[in-house]
Structure 1
Amino acid sequence: MSARNILVINCGSSSIKFALVNEAQQSFAISGIAERLGSPDAVLHWQLGDKKHSAMMAFGDHQAALAELMPKVQAAANGKLHGIGHRVVHGGEKFTTASRLNQATLNAIKATSPLAPLHNPANLLGIDVAMKLFPNLPQVAVFDTAFHQTLPQHAYRYALPESLYREHGVRRYGFHGTSHRFVSRHAAELCELSVGDSSWLVAHLGNGCSTCAIVNGQSRDTSMGLTPLEGLVMGTRSGDVDPNLHSHLARTLGWDLEQIDHMLNRESGLLGLSGLSNDMRTLEQAREQGHAGATLAIEVFCYRLAKSLAALSCALPQFDGLIFTGGIGENSPLIRTMTVAHLKLFGLVLDKEANARMIRGISGPINAKDHPRVLVVATNEERQIALDTLALLN
């Protein structure tokens, strides 16, 4: 049987990211993003081979974007498209694996939407359009939360009244599951270890950041919780704060919940600390020039990251290595160096030359000889979504 092609779709409220994944090829035949959908500046960007293209779609919506990109995808697949894999952020407790899309699955995703009001409705929008355009093509939902459904109860429960969990699903779910799963398996392969007998700490660092403790291929604890706000310092998200901050701001400043939520999710993190940017590249350059805010933001980011990794080590029966991934994790030797410097009790030491080389998608070890493993592993969430889709189609 010839290698199969899966279109992977990640649909946001005003964007669609896509990639055509062939199970026998590492690179994408075509990939891109439709952004600013519904506005006068709606545009489709795509890369075909080594060439980049763009097309304006003034006021184009999700349906118009999919209609525009699908002929390009079909051509890149030589007319042989075998299925569509959709990223869905929140699957609640209902979904522990990827699921074939049908009416029952759609109803369950809709029922979970109150847990991810910014993400699941947008994901459903893309699914609805794709299913109408291609009713005979197999389509699969792959959930960010599914990988973390192996967390033990003592890791996912909050110390809150039982009724909030039983009746309203208030618990820790975790996110970035597709990435954590992909890189931990790839790390085991790189180190010639069995996935079923290996234990890893993973730091997925981008505009959104999370850590994960992975034992024998299963998530045992993670930094994100009920929502993606819990845990690490991120690009514009605060991560952990005192739970009483909401009432403090309401009492002292008269802020309402919407103001507080916006501040914690959009104006905090690296942006809030630095007063400059949420982009780590910008902050590293500013730090070199003596910018105090950028310096502080990076120091807090790395300390809180190391603190989270140390805490998650409680979930490991053994320690086979620390993995850095995501845009920052894969491309910032500085962040890796500063984070590892806080983890002295782990005995971690980096090889400076190897650490400097591991950028732009290169994967490999960066630890000094005879010291515990530290790896940079390039994530590929699109490929993992495609593999999960193919596994269901099989």
Structure 2
Amino acid sequence: MTADSVLVLNSGSSSMKYQLLQPDSGDVAASGVVERIGQQQGSATHRSPGGTKQWAGPVPDYSAALDVVVQLFAESGSPIADQNLLAVGHRVVHGGSDFGDPVIVDDAVLQRIRQLSVLAPLHNPANAQGIERAARAFPDTPQVAVFDTAFFRTLPAAAASYAIDTAVAAAYQVRRYGFHGTSHEYVSGLAASVLGRPPADLNQIVLHLGNGASVSAIRGGVAVETSMGMTPLEGLVMGTRSGDIDPGALLHLQRAAGLDVAALDELLNRRSGVLGLAGVVDMRDLHARIAAGNPEAELALEVYCHRARKYVGAYLAVLGRLDAVVFTAGVGENDARVRAGILQGLHGLGITVDPDRNHSPAHGPRVISAVGSAVEVLVVPTNEELAIARKAAALVR
């Protein structure tokens, strides 16, 4: 029997998401998540055609998490050993300057992914542990790493460079790498298909708006700018992350408030963004607070939309000509108010949203710009798992 399925693993800082799918058709056989890895009590949810299974118990590490995944496949009547795996595809957050294309993981690659943890201390260690455990569980199946930073290796030097001492930057790998690349690449390609035009003919701005958020400028299918930088902290306002902030403000907090590196990291990554401004993370909760007359929530939405709108204008200037603005990820796909707020007042740039199309309950890729809008506006659901599966399959085949 020909191997034709790919198991995609996304090992996060305290979770392991997974999906078993057929890369050619996109059919999903099963999916799920193991959560609270390393905590006293973990949990897991497994979805398959036979229904949804829940599991609870201690998950001390990623080895135990994958054991839970294997167990849930067996309990659902479809043991993973019977799934005819072509490859296991892994999302790896940071590839540094080393990795662009997907790569079959060997000992040297795994070691380098671990070394790059200095650039992504919350993510790469978990990614590496997930790969290591999967290699033991499926010793005869290729393990393929797909890097979140890869799509943005095309950034021109003017976009990738920070204006600091070049010797310091080189010694410590300080440059702009960009993230969410798998999503931006997948969505921009699908948007071109929706418009019936080859990607090489299009200039696009893609807004990936989830708990983490980023925006990219894509010219002819090639990324030329993106909002995230050396880390996923730069750029847009996010659920708990600040996005752009004056570095001098951090020096001030260090001197005046006595905040050390750990405290600043906690503030900027976990206590800022929408949470810092309004006390909630989920946009649905934010809208509820706005409806109740909460001024902090109203300001948070204004700051969120203002920051993104500023990037849209800046990236139009970078591109010189704009054909499409594309929204994706949880907020981008589902929040009509946010989409309208970001593009509000951009009629002079040729961007006009149709209110009825924007508020339509339809799912799937769709155009929401007004008839006659010089720039098309689209909503395109992302599917990073399918993108990873296809990249892994193409490499192994």
Tell me if both proteins adopt one fold, taking TM over 0.5 as the criterion.
Answer: yes
Alpha-carbon offset, residue 229 of structure 1: 0.6
Alpha-carbon offset, residue 343 of structure 1: 2.5
Say which is worse superposed, 172-181 or 14-23, in terms of deviation: 14-23
Deviations 1:64-94 (A, max 9, x none): 2212322554727753111100000000011
> Following the alignment from structure 1 to structure 2, what is the Cα–Cα distance between the partners of residues 358 and 206?
19
Say which is worse superposed, 161-170 or 187-196, in terms of deviation: 161-170
Counterpart in the other structure of 2:336: 333
AA at the equivalent of 1:365: V
SS state of the match for residue 53, structure 2?
strand
Q: Does 1:299 align with 2:302?
A: yes
Q: Does 1:368 align with 2:370?
A: yes
Counterpart in the other structure of 1:66: 66
> Following the alignment from structure 1 to structure 2, what is the Cα–Cα distance between the partners of residues 22 and 365?
28
Runs of 4 or more above 4 Å deviation: 71-74
> Following the alignment from structure 2 to structure 1, what is the Cα–Cα distance between the partners of residues 345 and 264?
31
Counterpart in the other structure of 1:28: 28
AA at the equivalent of 1:87: R
Counterpart in the other structure of 1:280: 283
Say which is worse superposed, 190-199 or 23-32, in terms of deviation: 23-32
Alpha-carbon offset, residue 314 of structure 1: 2.8
SS state of the match for residue 210, structure 1?
strand
Q: Match for 2:267 among 263, 266, 269?
A: 263
> Following the alignment from structure 1 to structure 2, what is the Cα–Cα distance between the partners of residues 50 and 281?
31
Counterpart in the other structure of 1:350: 353
Counterpart in the other structure of 2:100: 96
Q: Does 1:83 align with 2:87?
A: yes
Q: Is the 8 A contact 2:59 2:65 kept in 1?
A: no
Q: Is the 8 A contact 2:3 2:85 kept in 1?
A: no
Counterpart in the other structure of 1:209: 213
SS state of the match for residue 205, structure 2?
strand
AA at the equivalent of 1:312: Y
AA at the equivalent of 2:8: V
Q: Is the 8 A contact 1:330 1:358 kept in 2?
A: no
Alpha-carbon offset, residue 345 of structure 1: 3.0
> Following the alignment from structure 1 to structure 2, what is the Cα–Cα distance between the partners of residues 325 and 221?
17
Q: Is the 8 A contact 2:46 2:72 kept in 1?
A: no
> Following the alignment from structure 1 to structure 2, what is the Cα–Cα distance between the partners of residues 109 and 243?
28
Question: What is the RMSD of the two structures over their aligned residues, measured on CA atoms?
Answer: 1.7
Structure 1 gaps, min length 5: none
> Following the alignment from structure 1 to structure 2, what is the Cα–Cα distance between the partners of residues 307 and 76?
50
Say which is worse superposed, 18-27 or 247-256, in terms of deviation: 18-27
SS state of the match for residue 326, structure 2?
strand
Counterpart in the other structure of 2:194: 190
SS state of the match for residue 231, structure 1?
coil
Say which is worse superposed, 1-10 or 128-137, in terms of deviation: 1-10
Q: Is the 8 A contact 1:29 1:76 kept in 2?
A: no
Alpha-carbon offset, residue 317 of structure 1: 4.4
Alpha-carbon offset, residue 61 of structure 1: 2.8
SS state of the match for residue 204, structure 2?
strand
Q: Is the 8 A contact 2:70 2:79 kept in 1?
A: no
Q: Is the 8 A contact 2:24 2:390 kept in 1?
A: no
SS state of the match for residue 17, structure 2?
strand
Deviations 1:129-187 (A, max 9, x none): 11111111011000000000000000000001111222211000000000000100000
> Following the alignment from structure 1 to structure 2, what is the Cα–Cα distance between the partners of residues 4 and 71?
22
Alpha-carbon offset, residue 110 of structure 1: 1.9
Say which is worse superposed, 139-148 or 157-166, in terms of deviation: 157-166
> Following the alignment from structure 1 to structure 2, what is the Cα–Cα distance between the partners of residues 162 and 381?
35
Q: Percent identity?
A: 42
Say which is worse superposed, 70-79 or 168-177, in terms of deviation: 70-79
> Following the alignment from structure 2 to structure 1, what is the Cα–Cα distance between the partners of residues 119 and 173?
8
Deviations 1:223-252 (A, max 9, x none): 000111100100010111111111101221
Alpha-carbon offset, residue 316 of structure 1: 1.5
Counterpart in the other structure of 1:53: 53
> Following the alignment from structure 1 to structure 2, what is the Cα–Cα distance between the partners of residues 232 and 277?
17
Counterpart in the other structure of 1:380: 383
AA at the equivalent of 2:349: F
> Following the alignment from structure 1 to structure 2, what is the Cα–Cα distance between the partners of residues 269 and 67?
35
Structure 2 gaps, min length 5: none
Q: Is the 8 A contact 1:37 1:60 kept in 2?
A: yes
Counterpart in the other structure of 1:44: 44
SS state of the match for residue 374, structure 1?
strand
Deviations 1:192-250 (A, max 9, x none): 01022211000000100000001121111000001111001000101111111111012
> Following the alignment from structure 2 to structure 1, what is the Cα–Cα distance between the partners of residues 315 and 220?
15
Alignment of 1:87-166 (within 5 A): 87-166=91-170
Q: Is the 8 A contact 1:213 1:219 kept in 2?
A: yes
> Following the alignment from structure 2 to structure 1, what is the Cα–Cα distance between the partners of residues 214 and 345?
17
